[in-house]
């Protein structure tokens, strides 16, 4: 399902809209946030009363924490309250929560109280943090991290920047984070994602009505969603489901063309033709016997049936004929950066008007060739589907920055590159970002695992996206679906093989199961005919 990801400023605006437009008092929202947090705590830790410390700040996050502590106290938990900072600077809601706690004859301390606790509630900062953590707050975070207690962060681990996932000096390493209304962008991006522990989003009164007609830019997919799959015609044939021309592999690299071609088939493409070095011909045919071949040597040209002709002109004629046959071109995996590779990329960008996916070596050549970049950005290319699939190193070379800068600006730079080259950009990292200049939304992927950081994984993704494009999916939807399903297949593979032992071919092997998980109620998939009497065939 689709899940919105919001920034700190957006969430504050939605909070204000809920209070001002829908007349729900802020204290009511705070009480509801506290209630759902207690529910999640008891679900995770059990309902048996135990020792709890609440570490609260002066903002509304601290008010949430005090309310959580009070509800636990009323259920028999032994709760110690700590309010860090000058209480005179508390928000009105947090000051009211402190008054309520004291009305129950509980004491609120101003410093951490040493002792053994079963649960620590982290409610110091919340989503508004924009400065480095210092002073008593830093000491409190370090104390919490050193504690053996189960740590529950309120909304976001204190010390994590809600828009970027950056650690602002130090941050709470939570076991559980309960966030409210919507997931925050910083929950999903690393390093912040590694601090949240189990992340749960609960509704507490703020919902999509509070958007007031303006939806958040970022979203992700979770679970299953049939919109990630293209509709398949029951009366279709192999041509109906698209023809992919895979230009991949060189004399020293065979695997890239094999992985990309097989992935395109696994995603539902009807036909695939591989343009590759003649050294790869037999290997490709053995690994993907369903694929057609156009193999080139220094002076020889072959297809799957044998020698076609000789010379460069013969090869280019055959390539142009293959281009007229195809619906989509994938160019780049393993082609190298020599003269022929440059010629193949130039043909794909400047001579063909087909939907195009550029990956791997194609991106490296593109980063060095300003003429090709101008070709992509030209007015002629603006009506054409082009998807770039760089990993962080390739992206940095294309954009013109360091890898560190690219990681730091993951939610900004890919969109700027997409605008510059008029392309959809799939920026691959632990959290892959998909952006398109024509789209009102950007996508942050949350499927996948460290086992996918292996040679050939990117070739598989490029093949999957190409297979979806060949079936007629729009470019942004194809890129998002490819990325999500690629990660899902990787997660299934990790469950079977472990992350450490995964290979790229394991991702391909688990594409069918990844697709099956999305198939429930999807038109044209696993659908049995129903006779007029209602009996299934």
Dump pLDDT digits (tens) for 111-155.
999 999 999 999 999 999 999 999 999 999 999 999 999 999 999
State the average pLDDT over residues 416-427.
97
pTM of the model: 0.93
The average confidence (pLDDT) of the chain is 93
* Best CA proximity match to 164, nearest among 59, 8, 361, 318: 8
| β-pair type (433-435, 442-444) | antiparallel
d(CA 344, CA 261): 17
Q: Is a pLDDT exceeding 50 seen at residue 530? A: no
Domain ranges of the chain: 2-219, 238-516
State the average pLDDT over residues 20-44.
97
- Higher-confidence position of 240 and 150: 150
pLDDT confidence band for 526 (50 / 70 / 90): very low
d(CA 73, CA 57): 19
Q: Is a pLDDT exceeding 70 seen at residue 260? A: yes
Half-sphere exposure of 136 (CA within 13 A, CB side): 14
CATH architecture assigned to 2-219: 3-Layer(aba) Sandwich (3.40)
pLDDT confidence band for 534 (50 / 70 / 90): very low
Tens digit of pLDDT for each residue in 198-232?
999 999 999 999 999 999 999 999 988 777 888 88
Compute CA 240 distance to the chain's CA centroid, rounded to the nearest angstrom: 30
Residue 141 CB contacts under 8 Å (≥ 6 apart), including other chains:
122, 124, 133, 158, 159, 170, 171, 172
User: Which pLDDT does position 320 carry in this prediction?
Assistant: 95
Contacts for 402-409: CB closer than 8 Å, 24+ residues apart: 408/164, 408/166
The phi and psi torsions of 388 (rounded to 5 degrees) equal -100, 140
State the average pLDDT over residues 264-280.
96
State the average pLDDT over residues 338-345.
95
User: Which pLDDT does position 381 carry in this prediction?
Assistant: 53
| Fold entry, domain 238-516 | 3.40.1190
pLDDT confidence band for 520 (50 / 70 / 90): low
Tens digit of pLDDT for each residue in 368-414?
999 999 999 985 556 799 999 999 999 999 999 999 999 999 999 99
CB contact at 8 A, 421 and 395: no
Residue 138 CB contacts under 8 Å (≥ 6 apart), including other chains:
169, 170
d(CA 472, CA 480): 14
* Best CA proximity match to 146, nearest among 119, 169, 124, 173: 173
User: Which pLDDT does position 308 carry in this prediction?
Assistant: 66
Tens digit of pLDDT for each residue in 47-100?
999 999 999 999 999 999 999 999 999 999 999 999 999 999 999 999 999 999
d(CA 4, CA 276): 42
Q: Is a pLDDT exceeding 50 seen at residue 536? A: no
Instruction: Quote the percentage of the chain above a pLDDT of 90.
Output: 86
Q: Is a pLDDT exceeding 50 seen at residue 528? A: no
Q: For residue 352, how many other CB atoms are within 10 A of its CB?
A: 18
Q: Is a pLDDT exceeding 50 seen at residue 470? A: yes
d(CA 6, CA 411): 12
- Higher-confidence position of 306 and 150: 150
């Amino acid at each position: 399902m689709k899940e919105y990801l919001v920034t700190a400023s957006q969430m504050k605006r939605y909070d204000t809209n809920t209070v001002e437009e829908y007349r729900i008092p802020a204290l009511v929202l705070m009480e509801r946030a506290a209630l759902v947090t207690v529910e999640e705590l008891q679900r995770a830790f059990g309902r048996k009363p135990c020792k709890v410390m609440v570490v609260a700040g002066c903002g509304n996050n601290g008010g949430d924490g005090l309310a959580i502590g009070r509800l636990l106290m009323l259920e028999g938990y032994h709760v110690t309250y700590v309010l860090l900072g000058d209480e005179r600077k508390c928000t009105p809601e947090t000051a009211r929560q402190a008054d309520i706690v004291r009305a129950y004859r509980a004491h609120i301390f101003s410093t951490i109280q040493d002792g053994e606790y079963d649960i620590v509630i982290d409610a110091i900062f919340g989503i508004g943090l924009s400065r480095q953590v210092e002073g008593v707050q830093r000491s409190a975070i370090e104390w919490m991290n050193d504690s053996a207690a189960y740590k529950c962060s309120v909304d976001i681990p204190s010390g994590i920047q809600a828009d970027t996932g950056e650690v602002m000096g130090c941050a709470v390493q939570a076991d559980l984070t309960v966030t409210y209304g919507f997931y925050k962008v910083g929950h999903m991006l690393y390093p912040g994602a590694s601090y949240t522990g189990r992340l749960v989003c609960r509704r507490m009164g703020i919902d999509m009505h509070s958007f007031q007609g303006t939806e958040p830019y970022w979203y992700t997919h979770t679970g299953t969603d049939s919109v990630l799959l293209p509709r398949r015609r029951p009366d279709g044939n192999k041509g109906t489901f698209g023809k992919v021309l895979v230009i991949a592999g060189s004399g020293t690299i065979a695997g890239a063309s094999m992985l990309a071609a097989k992935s395109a088939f696994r995603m539902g493409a009807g036909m695939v033709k591989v343009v590759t070095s003649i050294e790869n011909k037999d290997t490709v045919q053995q690994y993907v016997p369903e694929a057609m071949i156009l193999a080139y040597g220094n002076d020889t040209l072959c297809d799957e049936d044998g020698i076609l002709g000789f010379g460069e002109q013969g090869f280019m004629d055959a390539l142009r004929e293959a281009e007229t046959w195809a619906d989509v071109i994938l160019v780049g995996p393993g082609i190298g950066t020599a003269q022929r590779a440059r010629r193949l990329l130039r043909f794909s960008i400047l001579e063909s008007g087909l939907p195009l996916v550029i990956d791997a070596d194609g991106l490296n050549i593109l980063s060095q060739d300003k003429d090709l970049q101008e070709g992509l950005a030209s007015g002629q290319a603006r009506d054409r589907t082009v998807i770039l699939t760089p990993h962080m190193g390739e992206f940095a070379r294309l954009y013109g920055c360091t890898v560190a800068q690219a990681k730091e600006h993951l939610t900004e730079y890919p969109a700027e590159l997409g605008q510059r080259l008029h392309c959809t950009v799939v920026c691959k990292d632990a959290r892959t970002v998909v952006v398109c200049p024509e789209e009102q939304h950007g996508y942050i992927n949350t499927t996948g695992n460290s086992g996918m950081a292996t040679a050939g994984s990117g070739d598989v993704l490029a093949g999957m996206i190409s297979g979806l494009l060949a079936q007629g999916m729009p470019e942004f939807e194809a890129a998002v679906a490819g990325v999500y399903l690629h990660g899902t297949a990787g997660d299934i593979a990790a469950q079977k093989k472990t992350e450490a032992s995964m290979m790229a071919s394991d991702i391909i092997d688990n594409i069918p199961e990844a697709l099956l998980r999305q198939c429930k109620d999807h038109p044209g998939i696993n659908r049995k005919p129903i006779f007029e009497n209602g009996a299934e065939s």
